[in-house]
Amino acid sequence: MVLVAVAAPSAPAATPVGDAVAVQSLAGGAKRIKYRVGPVAVTPGQNRIAYDVLGHKPTVDGFITRIKANLVRADGSVPPSSQIMFHHGVWLNMSNQDASTGGRLPERFFAIGEEKTTLTLPRGFGYPYRANDQWLLNHMIHNLTPRPDELYFTYELDFIPATAPAAARTRRVRPVWMDVQNGTLYPVFDVLKGTGRHGRFTYPTQASAPYGSGPRLNQWTVDRDGVLVATAGHLHSGGLWNDLYLRRGKKQAHLFRSNARYWEPAGPVSWDVSMTATRPGWRVKVRKGDVLRTSVTYETRRAAWPESMGIMVAYMADRGPGANPFTTRVDRPGRVTHGHLKENFDHGGGASELPDPRDLPSSAFSGSLVDVTDFRYTAGDLSLPADAGRPPVIQPGQALTFRNNDDAEEIYHSITSCKAPCNRSTGIAYPIADGPVQFESGQLGTRLPGVGTVEWTTPTTLKSGTYTYFCRIHPFMRGAFRVKQ
């Protein structure tokens, strides 16, 4: 991908803000600076992980106190989440080492998921920035459609130059990346429908041997005395909250719960959500040797939630006052960083032209292989006409094998069970993995985030009936098959 600088007349390259597209003056000599990177060519059905060097940043040393990011079109509009999502973006400082992985990774200092949380550090704190820092963006653009597009990354920084009056009053913080699968290449786990207790499943607490015989990836031993000043959570659809705990010897304290505030009318089933972040006065003293731990909780009554995440990025200063969490309550409610976003208007679940597969006659299809080609299941796809769109039939004890023929184009597909008829209009809240009988192929593909294979076979234990499914990556894709004696 080619990164194209978009310079603004008000901010020529010789200025401290570099090649910004917008600059606003703030109190104390600080600046609000907006950068735009692109254009980014988005291929049909794209859902790949990619990396790009970021040269768009301030040209002088200083402190970053706020970061807000997005994915936009050339005219500045944000594409609807039902069409294209900024699945994630992680800003890495290649010049620093990551705290919570013991330096095994570069420093992850900011992240955005589809909930689009804005990072705002409390007044008087800032992330130290050097003009010669090397930045890298780890990103995943999820194109839910078969159409190409062209987009731009934007990120807005509140920046205090080192020579500004406010810099002398700013204390440095470092990011502490907490993750229930910290340090793994694709840190996801599956949440099955009906698991946990009372319709809620907490990972890793209620998971069976989530880390095997290896280290607990959801915790970090504090390496120096300090004070935590801010945090917020990240989770996926179906998620309810992230928790952060501190253990000292045999004592444990709950530090913060980042709640998911769903604007989605159907409840916790879509990306129409905001996460709560700590309030400006939150301060928690930690000691060297303490253990920070995080967990995440999902609802499990409505659906399964494959490829879920649970991340909390905390920011820690090396000195300053703070509360002892073992003698003072610190887990106060936080506040969301934004309200309902207009790109999340298309909820889905309305009328559509797709048939009810339960009413269709059986297909004359004979065989056991269903190819997935050009965003269609070649047998049983509800969008296909005549016999090809009718459910193929297998007998009890038999199975169908699905093969993703789009893998060569780095297009991933899934076969994910959904509740019949699974034929309503596509949106951010429909369809979901709510099949009464659960089956899930994962993302069929040979590269990450694919599962490493292009084929998947249905369970052989399915009883007689019509089974409906969809593609989680491209949810307009719907299909059905039938088990019949």
- Residue 475's CATH number: 2.60.40.420
Judgement on whether residues 104 and 175 belong to the same structural domain of the protein: no
Q: Indicate whether 60 and 135 sit together in one domain.
A: yes
Do 150 and 276 lie in one domain? The reply is: no
Distance between CA 125 and CA 320 in Å, rounded?
Answer: 11
Q: Which residues pair with 151 in a beta bridge?
A: 40
In contact, 114 and 271? CB cutoff 8 Å: yes
Distance CA 176, CA 469 (A): 39
Q: Answer yes or no: do 117 and 260 share one domain.
A: no
pTM of the model: 0.94
- Here the contacts of 192-195 (C-beta below 8 Å, separation 24 or greater) are 192/300, 192/304, 192/438, 193/300, 193/301, 193/302, 193/303, 193/304, 193/433, 193/434, 193/438, 194/300, 194/301, 195/300
Domain boundary among 114, 141, 169: 169
pLDDT in tens, the chain (485 residues): 333 333 344 433 346 888 999 999 999 999 999 999 999 999 999 999 999 999 999 999 999 999 999 999 999 999 999 999 999 999 999 999 999 999 999 999 999 999 999 999 999 999 999 999 999 999 999 999 999 999 999 999 999 999 999 999 999 999 999 999 999 989 999 999 999 999 999 999 999 999 999 999 999 999 999 999 999 999 999 999 999 999 999 999 999 999 999 999 999 999 999 999 999 999 999 999 999 999 999 999 999 999 999 999 999 999 889 999 999 999 999 999 999 999 999 999 999 999 999 999 999 888 899 999 999 999 999 999 887 889 999 999 999 999 999 999 999 999 999 999 999 999 999 999 999 999 999 999 999 999 999 999 999 999 999 999 999 999 999 999 999 98
pLDDT in the model for residue 367: 87
* Nearest of 46, 61, 6 to residue 144 by alpha carbon: 46
Q: What does the alpha-carbon distance between residue 176 and residue 290 come to, in Å, rounded to a whole number?
A: 14
What's the domain range around 193?
Answer: 170-346
C-alpha to C-alpha distance for 162 and 158, rounded to whole angstroms: 13
Strand segments, DSSP code E, in 55-207 are 62-72, 84-97, 106-113, 119-120, 125-129, 135-143, 149-161, 171-179, 189-191, 200-203
Strand, coil or helix: 68: strand
Alpha-carbon gap, residue 476 to 424, rounded angstroms:
10
Whether residues 151 and 208 share a domain: the answer is no
Task: Domain count for the chain, please give it.
Answer: 3
Domain boundary among 149, 169, 189: 169
Based on the fold, state whether residues 180 and 160 are members of the same structural domain: no
In three state form, how does the secondary structure of 370-425 look?
A: EEEECCEECCCECCCCHHHHCCCEECCCCCCEEEECCHHHCCCECCEEECCCCCCC
* Omega prior to 449 cis, within 30 of 0: yes
- Pair (179, 301) in one structural domain: yes
The pLDDT value given to residue 15: 67
91 Cα distance to chain centroid: 14
Give pLDDT, residue 9. 41
Do both 326 and 392 map to the same domain? no
Question: Is 365 in contact with 378 (CB distance < 8 Å)?
Answer: no
Shared-domain flag, residues 185 and 152: no
Check residue 1 and give its pLDDT: 37
Q: Output the CA angle 264-73-476, nearest 5 degrees.
A: 50
Residues 193 and 335 in one domain: yes
- Shared-domain flag, residues 163 and 181: no
Q: What share of the chain is helix, strand, coil (3-state, %, to 5)?
A: 5, 45, 50
Q: Which of 346, 362, 385 is the last residue of a domain?
A: 346
The CATH number assigned to the domain holding 22 equals 2.60.120
275 & 136 share domain: no
String of b and e for 185-212 (b: at least 16 CB within 10 Å)? eebebebbbebbeeebbbbbebbeebee
